[in-house]
Chains A and B, each alone.
Chain A
Amino acid sequence: MMNAVDTRVPVAVLTGFLGSGKTTLLNRILTENHGKKIAVIENEFGEVGIDNDLVIGAEEEIFEMNNGCICCTVRGDLIRILGHLMKRRDKFDYIMIETTGMADPGPVAQTFYVDDDMQQKLHLDAIVTLVDAKHIWEHIDDSDEAKKQLAFADVILLNKIDLVAPEDLERLEARIKSMNSMAKIYRSRDAVVEMDKILNVGGFNLDRALDIDPKFMEPEYPFEWSGIYQLNPGTCEWVMGEGPDPTMGAALLPLANTGLAAKEATLMDAVLTFSDDEQAIKAGEMMRLGKGQYNQLVLNESGETVFNIEIQQPGYYMLFTEHHPDEFDARLRGADSVPDPLEAREYKPDHEHDEEVTSVGISVPGDLQLEKLNSWLSQLLQVQGQDIFRMKGVLSVRGWDERFVFQGVHMLFDGRADRPWGEELRHNKLIFIGRNLDRAALENGFRECLAA
């Protein structure tokens, strides 16, 4: 489908776990005076007209197709409701669709690519994902839905930021950017966000996506956990049960105070310490304390193993462990108490990286040969379509005066001529977001499509 002027009605899909603030945001959109006529399709029943706008309740009906292809899975209720809405004389400026908390954004996004009636009259403008900045940590590592909601997003709203410490917010933002570098991230409390941030996003902010400040990328750490303890002079014990490994690396470092700067400094010390030579520590032996003292705790063959710790200076200490203490049922035991950590933090283990959701951005000058591009893309999507959640690009195609813009969901994509390049330097930028992405292969494959 190629046409220069897009007259289709833009659609935004609102995703986010229960409690992330979707309803608050929708109510705000419906009551705010933004001069637009908006139809909202909610997860609740009942149809209500609110002033100029319309709210329609819908029940998610996921239509899986007989051929078992995930990209043919669409939302049947949306096809019906939107198909009907498009017949009305009173045209809407914008349509917003709220999904249920656990929804996979795939089927709803695919609906706008797979169904001809939808594709002719509507276009997916933005997937907006609301994130409960405090509770997202409970899902971000384990929930496929949470990962997909973040990976699919064009706009991510970190909501309820008033409930989170600034450093945790930084960490969250960095983590999200490592998964989806394309999304624009905004912070809000009570889902307060300017309407133009989520309506008519119009998609192609690839410059931003491709120029990620490397410091935002969350580094890989050689440890999975740290805990901050306030300890007094004397001895205490680090008690470990049986676990998945016979040994575990650990470092115990003093912490000047509980401020962000001090924690960051100690974190860096810990990274260095874990790269030092390890020293085996057996049951009943004293753990070494301080920078450069990398303890390799050797467990008894069965039962509990107790390691001793001697504290001379009262104050804060940060204990870093190679694995999560829970895996060994490990804990600190004082003379007459079991001190809990004041703060604990988990780190993304580097060895799980392959299954992680990541973004691969490609930026290459030159003109593309359309046939080569088509055959590369179609083959790529056939093989890897299930793992590629989103892709977007602005391409320079030989023989075309206009920019070629495209975006896709899984195996489906929609490309069209955009505005003329004019004075602008002809250049190709595209981004893939998904699982198991091989950056080198993608970049090489793309370069092969350049016109000779």
Chain B
Amino acid sequence: MMQRKRKSKRAQPALKAIWRANIDDHPIGLAWSPEGNILAVAGVSGPITLFDGADGAVQRVLPGHALDTMAISWHKDSRLLASVGQDGKVRLWDAETGAQRSEMAGGASWVARVAFCPAGDWLVSAAGRKLRLWNSGGELIREYPDANSTITDIKWRYDGKQFAISAYNGVVLYDPEQAEPLRRFEWQGSTLTLEWSRDGKYIATGDQDSTVHFWITASGQDLQMWGYETKVLELAWSFNSRYLATGGGTQVVIWDCSGKGPANTRPIMLEGHQQLIKHLEFQRQGMLLASGGNDGLLAIWKVKKNKPVMLADAVFRAPIAGLAWSPDDRRIAVSDESGTLSIAAVQGN
């Protein structure tokens, strides 16, 4: 990681590297344990490395999935890590001992999504059109009827009482206690990813046809934002549910959802990336936004209505592969496609 040459003379807070590592693989998942003591990094070829969050010491290397690991998710107690992969399995690992606790069948050969409930003991997995609900003991609680097409994303509401899935044709909302969906937000298009606002009022989706959708969960009304350069896979809500940061191009586009909402408003635009933005992460309790792009640029922005500023930046040798703020917001984990992993603190904010 090196500092980028700046045109302005304005003193900017620097990113201070705390520790670095390399997993010698394309990192596809980057997840802090809820307590912040472990950083789990999954490589595409399978293994999942558990780093000590404080100093980067390798605590465990879990074998993961023989035919590529696709996603990981932590249980709320920081002890169990779930992983899914192309061996058709959902696996639960004991982070302390490194032992595999359970192995479950995802329902199709590519299990692409997994999400532990942030509040309860639930785990949801998606493999193709198969959606399954488990408990942390690895028991199947429910298998839902097949989705219309491959499930592209699963996200829990922040209170853990509902979860939503996206697929071609929109979004479906579930209560884990019920077999029937709560609600369907239908739209004829390919929805690639979704993100709940913290207050649960909105679900935002990124779409293949270069649009972003807002769904107002209470009413089912929707709002479509278009004009993106490319498909939108990057969405991040600020903790106060006011801003939705979106990628889908070389500029970060931020919609202000306060007041009457984002309809007919001009978004805040952040310029700095030379190539497509691939990752966006807001702090959990602060207003710093991290963006990472194909140009290898990591930028940290302070998001304000009138004058958003880039607080710090760094350039990696390869496109950014993942971003994750630590639960206390003080550090950010960044990976690039060459396998470099860097944990840095943002100073002076």
B319, closest chain A residue (CB): A120
Contact with B along A98-123 (1 / 0, CB 8 A): 00000000000000000110001000
Give the contact stretch, choosing among B134-142, B171-179, B183-191.
B183-191
A35 at the interface (CB under 8 A from B): no
A64 at the interface (CB under 8 A from B): yes
Contact with A along B180-219 (1 / 0, CB 8 A): 0000000111100000000000000001110100000000
In the complex, how many residues of chain B place their beta carbon closer than 8 angstroms to a beta carbon of chain A? 31
Asked if A66 and B109 make an inter-chain contact with CB atoms under 8 angstroms apart, the answer reads no
Partner of B230 from the list A57, A77, A116 (CB cut-off 8 Å) is A116
B285 at the interface (CB under 8 A from A): no
B112 at the interface (CB under 8 A from A): yes
A46, closest chain B residue (CB): B109
Asked if B44 and A88 make an inter-chain contact with CB atoms under 8 angstroms apart, the answer reads yes
CB distance from A449 to the nearest CB of B (A): 27
Asked if A80 and B150 make an inter-chain contact with CB atoms under 8 angstroms apart, the answer reads yes
B207, closest chain A residue (CB): A66
Asked if A76 and B128 make an inter-chain contact with CB atoms under 8 angstroms apart, the answer reads no
In the complex, chain B residues whose CB is within 8 Å of the CB of A115: 208, 230-231
Asked if A116 and B208 make an inter-chain contact with CB atoms under 8 angstroms apart, the answer reads no
A88, closest chain B residue (CB): B44
Given contact pairs A59-B128, A66-B209, A88 touches B68 in the complex (Cβ within 8 A):
yes
B276 at the interface (CB under 8 A from A): yes
A67 at the interface (CB under 8 A from B): yes
A89 at the interface (CB under 8 A from B): yes
A312 to B139, CA, bound (A): 89
A303 to B45, CA, bound (A): 76
A88 to B45, CA, bound (A): 7
Asked if A87 and B231 make an inter-chain contact with CB atoms under 8 angstroms apart, the answer reads no
B331 at the interface (CB under 8 A from A): no
B274 at the interface (CB under 8 A from A): no
B240 at the interface (CB under 8 A from A): no
B25, closest chain A residue (CB): A89
- A-contacting residues, B39-56, CB 8 Å: 44-45
Given contact pairs A66-B209, A67-B209, A87 touches B168 in the complex (Cβ within 8 A):
no
A65 at the interface (CB under 8 A from B): yes
- 18 more contacts with CB within 8 A, not counting A45-B109, A57-B109, are A46-B109, A47-B67, A61-B168, A65-B189, A65-B208, A66-B207, A66-B211, A67-B209, A72-B209, A74-B208, A76-B150, A87-B44, A88-B45, A88-B68, A89-B44, A116-B231, A116-B276, A120-B294
The 12 sampled A-B contact pairs (Cβ below 8 Å) are: A45-B109, A46-B109, A47-B110, A59-B128, A61-B149, A63-B168, A66-B209, A79-B208, A84-B68, A88-B45, A89-B25, A116-B230
